[in-house]
Chain A
């Protein structure tokens, strides 16, 4: 019962937050000089006054700001994100067309990074003075500090050009035809480099955090007790220490999930991965307001849901949180 009230409360906040996001984004988009008529003219190599006026009146861009804002909010409240000016397609279609690609990329990268990151963190926390520890620390710092597009291009030069193991761009090869298994394999093949690139940032975060958290827990009294009881180091680490070291990592994972789109923009651009990040970039450059707003709205939604889920998971794995409510 308690949990239901918490969820309902959260949902109410979320709805208010979403409207605030919409108003803020819409206003900011309107502050920027120029509009989609300019970018359409650019894509055509020129335009005339009549055509640009036509575009502006067709999309209501010649209306006063408040009229546009109210019309937009009204549309969104009736679950209509509008039409993309640039692609002449419903924004919802555009977003859902791209969502699977981004989810596939981000979820795979996250899961791999989480698992490998925690393993590396635990490993280096157990051997804080070993060579391997320095290796892990260095690797993590490097992954965290190196810009993604740079890592991406380097990987491409190494594993696409010098040693041509992986394709340079895209999500699938249209010339590959076969059953589901063949096509899935093709997608997996295309995914390797983008997942490594994107995963390297997350991996760095998780391994550093789980190492720190693990070190803290390993120094606590009950671990010493467990050791004194005569338990094997493995049992101490996995059963006693890790359980208590995990909550911060889970919180971070939840927060990172909200960065689904921001993190993917660069990786998707470098690898021509047809996801939301690329769509966001294209529409920002094209000043395609409905699409940008749609994506921002959607991202806000993902952040809110992500946070809600994180809280729920925390309750499951950490009894202390359950008590507080």
Chain B
């Protein structure tokens, strides 16, 4: 998809949203029945990352900013915000009169406390790592002091990453990670308050009448029903029992739901989550994979079109780099390694791995970190046998077994699914940064990839405030990575949202169901 076409699409999407908003006045009331595939550990996104906590978390807690479809920040709990000229201070001006669910006012103290809690407990240290302190000159002003300019801070102000939690509740001295009020009697700041959380059954939320945006939310209640079986969820939305499913990625079910005329099924809304499928190489091993020509040859030998059209049945997008194609920083112009067996063979010969008498060059193993990528692993084996690489597929036992193996670098190749989490600084750098080679930590730089030039580009990109210059930095970053190929990116995970046509204003912004539902409504 060209960039122009994409912006055209975005524009059309905006126009159509504006149009529907005009044509149909949102209705107050009703209960939205929303499916969830797993039980969250608890409901406090400040200390529990991930999409399971993210969905109810974004309703329970408000954040300083929210995002629309084209990545533009919008006022939320902060009515205005700005960076100082040197980029070392970010000022948030909070809306006045906002209250927590227990009636206490939301103040800049709570913002400072939330930033500190996330900084200390959240797994993504890069989000607030450069925040040195938070000043609170008055009740409605919070100033974040930074040790270096940090453009990723804007995305880190989203509900998924910085929920505003009450200091008077979660700052009582108990460990916030195991605070009893993370699961019950949650005191939030968002459009909905907690009624009931029953593990493996449901999470019931109710409209918070004193929400700081007048007249919202539109819904009276949201019921998240926890249904782990994907087929049951699909049947549930088809028979009208459920109004909405998010994060669906079973190709077969998506195809079937698309045929139902009472439903809308779309992959819009997952750009910031940014889930990518890729084939990772252990570049630090002594074997042939240390040579980038071998990695390139492997990429040339795999027919990506087959993966996209046959395995994913055309419902996931082509992803050529480690940045999600929905991100404004994505560079579509890099080499996508279209299948070319001659080139693959030539590269392997050049790298010094000639075919032996049996036509085999060398042997490798392949793992996969998720049962759904088993076909990809088997397809890789079949593809590579054509260029003389003998691959044996290690079967998937369970996640911890796989994670131990990969994170301790005991592998040759593995299929993996990794999320961008909005800004490259949060979810992309970790895969390529040479100082993030951490044995035992999954989704660190398990490829053991080292390139000082890439390290420099990431350091520059992390600090560049000017969007155009930043884009240029990340373009070069993606170009060099596509050349070095520590991982071969193939496609986006086909995350889809399915919703009944009764639902108005579905969450199609960049954070999918991890965004506030104050605008969602049910038509008569």
Contacts and interface: CB of A to CB of B under 8 A. Distances in A.
B235 A45 contact: no
Interface string A74-109: 000000000000111100001001100000000000
A78 to B, nearest CB: 22
B24 interface: no
Interface string B109-128: 00000000000000111000
Given A157-B235, A272-B228, A33 B400 contact: yes
Contacts of B50: 43-45
A45 B49 contact: yes
Given A34-B399, A46-B123, A160 B235 contact: yes
Contacts of B400: 32-36, 38-39, 287
A22 interface: no
A170 B440 contact: no
A52 interface: yes
A169 interface: yes
B123 A48 contact: yes
A41 interface: yes
A269 interface: yes
B441 to A, nearest CB: 5
Given A41-B123, A87-B41, A279-B200, A160 B239 contact: yes
Nearest to A35: B400
Given A161-B235, A169-B227, A282-B39, A41 B403 contact: yes
Interface in B210-240: 221, 223, 225-229, 231-233, 235-236, 238-240
A47 B196 CA distance: 29
A270 B232 contact: yes
Contacts of A269: 228-229
Contacts, number: 155
Nearest to A287: B400
Interface in A176-200: none
Given A153-B231, A156-B232, A170 B201 contact: yes
Contact of A47 (B202, B225, B239, B442): B442
Nearest to A149: B229
A107 B441 CA distance: 44
B446 to A, nearest CB: 11
A282 B442 contact: no
B386 interface: no
B438 interface: yes
A35 to B, nearest CB: 6
Contacts of B124: 46
Contact of B225 (A97, A170, A270): A170
A191 to B, nearest CB: 14
B200 A167 contact: no
B235 A156 contact: yes
A269 B238 CA distance: 19
A216 B223 CA distance: 56
A47 B178 contact: no
Given A46-B123, A87-B199, A284-B398, 6 more contacts: A33-B401, A34-B401, A46-B427, A88-B178, A270-B229, A270-B232
Interface of B: 31, 33, 39, 41-42, 48-52, 123-125, 178, 183, 196, 198-202, 204, 221, 223, 225-229, 231-233, 235-236, 238-242, 398-405, 407, 419, 421, 427, 430, 438, 440-444
10 contacts: A36-B400, A42-B403, A44-B123, A47-B123, A49-B440, A98-B200, A168-B236, A168-B239, A278-B228, A287-B398
Interface of A: 32-36, 38-49, 51-52, 86-89, 94, 97-98, 153, 156-157, 160-161, 164, 167-171, 174-175, 269-272, 274, 278-279, 282, 284-285, 287
